[in-house]
Structure 1
């Protein structure tokens, strides 16, 4: 028999629904955000004081700037925290607030109208910034000092505070490993510049799928579109790992790798490529760490193969060793190799290589150990074989079940 819940128990359960979910943020990230806000607001206030001195009797730090700091340092990837959002949003809101006060006077009705119009203006100008509403409110109800500034309030302190805080956030976020600003427009371009979708889009949802869903959602998301797409892709990869098991790079890579050094002659490198029927040679230093990679494409580019009739002759001229002391053409691998090189760790799951070998257009990825020494090579063919093997294993498990 089901136990009947008391009114107090039901009330407690109902109240628990208002508790926010736990934040999946490390303590280091929290300290990074708090440290940025501390330094950003302090330096913004000091710089404003230094620039204005005693000429203007204005607050050195406007109260809504504290809310702006939360966005810029706490959630720098948010569309609401981008440079145009903070500068444009705060300035436009200040302009709206001062204008409303000029024509309608100081009242609660003016404050409400100014805030509402400021939000509408920010929507129209694509610079929605929540602290902007507080800026508009301050322009109306900020007291005699703010009212006495008139339209100067838009420049000092609103524009000055916003610019200084944004510039510090630009430096601080990038210095602490947080990309800022974030791209505002997605890149739908094909890897090959054609009408085809990017290879990574063919694996699951496409960028256009995401755009359509966001359009149907019809609400402001406090997360950038590219971050949202990245999270979805990572979720798909995580689901693949759970479904097909742990297949690491070390499980499928080629271990007997043919390599070259910086000083290997082009003639020797070309011979190695032809002899072993491979299309790429990792270039390593004396410690066997990867410093570059030379491929057939590198030979083609440096041979200046614009005219097909002279293909063989131009290639021979490129790889033929010059006997003179000085040469106007490349002589060794180090002069034509591609660098820097994208490598992968031996314990990386192969599904993490899908974006590199498809969307980024790579064909060969050197595999390195914990000390970044070359231990193998993984190609697109290796990845396809591993994914096929994983699919067969999954099918066998389902059949057995």
Structure 2
């Protein structure tokens, strides 16, 4: 019998332990386990204290377990946001109660209940997979559920959902997760209708819509997140293809800097004299402590130490094109290159990066486009 090659075994192990979800890490899964452990237990404890234990009403309904998987394992999913959890579970349970009361055949009732739940959640923009289980619970829950009638969707289903979401909000805040997941829409820093500079090239939003129509698939990701992911992929691909160009290759080495005690008037004069937009602020030993620019110096007086902003920094051996997201955000005009001791060794401005990027464009392509 022929044994598998070591490479095949290694690939099999990788596929077995590789994360199913994009971006999932072991740390995130452990955090999800801790969140589910604490919040599901607390939800049951709180409901028990409010409603009292007994056969008349369950402390917590089974769909809350599925909601917890979404809430803690994939908190960025559109299906795991507060309204889908609360509205999806409650509305679906209500659809299940309606189906159970109108249809006496349980086989037909469970199908109708789940079908109505999907339709209701879709129209109310609170699609939540555990809602299907909430609808089934309402149909097949037996005497304890039937005794509560139309109140069952609100107690315990709605109550469980509200408490779980409240605990989830607190847990994600403590664990420093972005929840509820909000994608900040890109707007111009100049307060005009123009899109930001880094959104004026490459694909457009209508291209994303067209691609989704071609694929004819529904993905568990917010459309804005999908656009943000694709733009980051573009940047990473550009960085990878130009990985040999380092920050040390394009940085200015004769850096104009000021000390924390430099006055606003002197700093402003230096900006004008050297025709720059940003001045690093360093201690007498050369250690970087902040930066100032025209934005900070406008209508100010006194020493610059009270006006310093957190500096954008990088290292000399970092890929130069990795600075594209920073220097095209509309507010950062220069990145300070530092060593491990935060000593200033250089500075890269938007002009430096633009000049470097222009040199990467193939000359034959430029010539062809100009002729065309």
**Same fold? TM cut 0.5:** yes
Any unmatched runs of 5+ in structure 1?
1-15, 304-329, 396-401
TM-score by length of 2: 0.83
Partner of 2:370: none
Q: Which residue of the other structure, out of 286, 291, 305, is the alignment partner of 1:334?
A: 305
Structure (1 or 2) with the larger CA radius of gyration: 1
2: CA distance, partners of 1:126 / 1:381 = 46
**Out of 330, 336, 349, which is 1:379 matched to?**
349
2:318 matched residue in structure 1:
348
Deviations 1:28-59 (A, max 9, x none): 22222222222221222222222223488321
Q: Which residue in the other structure is 1:308 paired with?
A: none
Report the counterpart of residue 7 of structure 2 in structure 1: none
Distance 2:242 2:73 in 1: 36
Q: Which residue in 2 is equivalent to 1:5?
A: none
Q: Provide the C-alpha distance between the structure 2 equivalents of 1:302 and 1:167, rounded to a whole number of angstroms.
A: 44
Q: CA RMSD in A?
A: 2.9
1:198 aligns with 2:196: yes
Report what 2:118 is aligned to. 119
Matched, 1:31 2:1: no
Distance in 2 separating the partners of 1:106 and 1:58: 24
Partner in structure 2 of residue 314 of structure 1: none
The answer as to whether partners of 1:265 and 1:331 remain within 8 angstroms in 2 is yes
Query: Retained in 2: the 8 A contact 1:250–1:346?
Result: yes
For residues 310-350 of structure 1, what are the alpha-carbon distances to aligned partners after superposition, in whole Å with 9 as ceiling and x for unaligned? xxxxxxxxxxxxxxxxxxxx21213444x233333444323
Shift of 1:79: 0.8
CA distance in 2, matches of 1:190, 1:230: 16
Distance 1:48 1:106 in 2: 32
Task: Report what 2:160 is aligned to.
Answer: 161
Scaled by the length of structure 1, the TM-score of the pair is: 0.78
1:302 corresponds to: 299
* Contact kept in structure 2, 1:244 and 1:394, CA below 8 Å: no
1:2-401 correspondence to structure 2 within 5 Å: 22-23=18-19, 25-54=24-53, 57-105=56-104, 107-183=106-182, 187=185, 189-215=187-213, 217=215, 219-285=217-283, 288-299=286-297, 301-302=298-299, 330-337=301-308, 339-391=309-361
CA contact (8 A) 2:43 2:60 kept: yes
